[in-house]
Amino acid sequence: MTSVLSVALGGALGASLRFLLVSALMRDGFPVAILFCNVLGSFLMGLLVVLLGHHGLPQLQPFLLAGVLGGFTTFSAFSLETLALIEQGALGQAFLYVAASVLLSLLALTAGLWLARSFA
């Protein structure tokens, strides 16, 4: 039960951080704010997976990984933003958004893993 509570608290914190960041970065048109959250969250996921493992802190994984970063990154918001672009007839932007989100998030996760492993 404590894992569920830590995920819930972390999720509330992550969602609140995402809300604040999206509010600060929100622009009309291309959904750069959600893209930024997903890329940053992927980088932090890669970094924390290694750091928590190397420092013997697996008990923080539910709070930080599933909770904070799970609430911070937003696949459902990504899907909604993509569909909105498609419905607006901005198929090129929708394709760019999907490709950039997936590729940049994978690169960010890889960079986070690499950075953490280089210091571990």
| 10 annotated ligand binder | no
69-78 tens-digit pLDDT: 999 998 878 8
Q: What is the mean predicted confidence (pLDDT) over 21-31?
A: 88
| 70 annotated ligand binder | yes
Query: pTM here?
Result: 0.82
Range of lowest pLDDT (39-48, 69-78, 86-95, 98-107): 69-78
Q: What is the mean predicted confidence (pLDDT) over 57-76?
A: 92
Three-point CA angle 107, 70, 53, nearest 5°: 70
26, burial (CB in 10 Å: exposed 0-12, middle 13-18, buried 19+): exposed
Range of lowest pLDDT (3-17, 27-41, 79-93): 27-41
Which band of pLDDT confidence, cut at 50, 70 and 90, is reported for residue 5?
A: very high
